A = this chain, B = another copy of it.
Amino acid sequence: MKHATCLADLAPDGIEQILARAKEWKTRPNEKHLRDKLLGMVFFNPSLRTRASFEAVMARGGGHALVLEAGAGSWKLEDRLGAIMDGDRPEHVKEAAPVLSRYVDALAVRCFAQGDDDENDLADSVIAAFRKYATVPVVSMESAREHPCQGLADLLTIEENFGLTSGLPVALTWAPHIKALPKAVPNSFLLTAAARGCAVRIAHPPGFELHPQIVREAEQFARSSGGSVSFFSEQESALAGAKVVYAKSWGPATIAGLTSDAVRHHSGWMISSRQMEQAAPDAIFLHCLPVRRNVEVADEVLDGKWSRVVDQAENRFHVQRALLHWLFR
């Protein structure tokens, strides 16, 4: 049985197959590749694209997605082993995951970093519990560590714009926000772009480093694919000549580094046309959405010639369909 909660689950071969299939099927959204399949979606956090696109994938494919919201309509879930469950979480993943596995053909889980325990977030404890106790494939809809469907959609969008990605200079730049956001999206972009051979440049202010484990894994992917990974503490060098400018906010490297205005400080990092003009003349702009306009990214960029954010979001549908097909095959 396969899972798909991190890029390592797919491996370069799986990524290749999923992206190829996503392109091949793109013009035939209603083919019944998922007939009679049931997907159980468990949300610990809000969603617009993920929920709508997975539900559309299942419905158009001839299957069905059912939605449970832990803590709203459904029970809050405990994942700590050995817990004396006398708090606000009346059900354990040890029960929820195997029980739901009896009703559905795969489980999709969204569980953001909880942001109160670096080690727990790094260990991706909720998704790990689902992997351990589910008896059907588990798909990540974004966990503390990764958001693999986003990474796949990002790369599909880049390949549709530039063809081969070997050596393609792509820049991921940190952006300001009103609060500390999880790192799953930057992690997954870094890992997937590295696995597809891009020359990945990452720019962020000091103190916002991605986790060394993720960086090492990306460097390994890059070595296999012929890609590269480099870091910058200012935007200009990272953006110079880049074909892709990917903006995303994330929180400090550790929870200890989180002060009330840590992420508000660097307002100069907001992406405007000034930054886009430093990139290649045919550069495209990406963001995973939702985006806070005029905080993370200026209107002029999102509404301008560079933006591919809607195509990128559409590609969530196409890669997820291909991923579920890969998982069930």
**Chain A interface residues (CB < 8 Å from chain B):** 30, 36, 38, 40, 43, 46-49, 51-53, 55-56, 59-60, 63-64, 66, 68-69, 72-75, 78, 82-86, 90-92, 94-96, 98-100, 102-104, 178, 289-295, 299, 302-303, 309-310, 313-314, 317
Q: A68 contacts which of B52, B64, B75 (Cβ < 8 Å)?
A: B52
Smallest CB–CB gap between A53 and chain B, Å? 5
Contact A310 B68 (CB under 8 A): no
Bound Cα distance from A56 to B106, whole angstroms? 12
Smallest CB–CB gap between A173 and chain B, Å? 18
Contact A102 B310 (CB under 8 A): yes
Q: A299 contacts which of B38, B82, B98 (Cβ < 8 Å)?
A: B82
- Additional pairs, 20, CB under 8 Å, beyond known A59-B66, A72-B73, A94-B293: A47-B73, A48-B74, A48-B99, A48-B100, A51-B68, A52-B68, A53-B103, A55-B64, A55-B66, A69-B73, A83-B294, A84-B293, A94-B303, A95-B290, A95-B302, A95-B309, A96-B290, A102-B314, A103-B314, A103-B317
Contact B84 A295 (CB under 8 A): yes
- Which residues of chain B have C-beta atoms less than 8 A from A314's C-beta? 99, 102-103
- Which residues of chain B have C-beta atoms less than 8 A from A302's C-beta? 94-95
- Which residues of chain B have C-beta atoms less than 8 A from A69's C-beta? 73
Q: Say yes or no: A292-B85 contact (C-beta < 8 A), given A46-B74, A48-B75.
A: yes
Contact A73 B86 (CB under 8 A): no
Question: This chain: how many copies in the complex?
Answer: 3
Q: Say yes or no: A289-B95 contact (C-beta < 8 A), given A47-B74, A314-B102.
A: yes
- Which residues of chain B have C-beta atoms less than 8 A from A103's C-beta? 52-53, 56, 314, 317
- Which residues of chain B have C-beta atoms less than 8 A from A75's C-beta? 46, 48, 290
Q: A60 contacts which of B36, B53, B74, B310 (Cβ < 8 Å)?
A: B36
Contact A85 B317 (CB under 8 A): no
Bound Cα distance from A197 to B96, whole angstroms? 31
Contact A56 B46 (CB under 8 A): no
- Which residues of chain B have C-beta atoms less than 8 A from A292's C-beta? 85-86, 90
Name the residue among A53, A64, A103, A104 with the largest chain B CB count within 10 angstroms: A103
Smallest CB–CB gap between A181 and chain B, Å? 10
Q: Chain B residue with minimal CB distance to A82?
A: B299
Smallest CB–CB gap between A109 and chain B, Å? 13
Can you list 26 A-B contacts (CB < 8 A)?
A36-B60, A38-B56, A40-B52, A47-B74, A48-B74, A49-B99, A51-B74, A52-B68, A53-B103, A56-B66, A56-B104, A59-B63, A59-B66, A69-B73, A78-B293, A85-B295, A92-B293, A94-B302, A94-B303, A95-B290, A95-B302, A95-B310, A95-B313, A102-B313, A103-B314, A103-B317
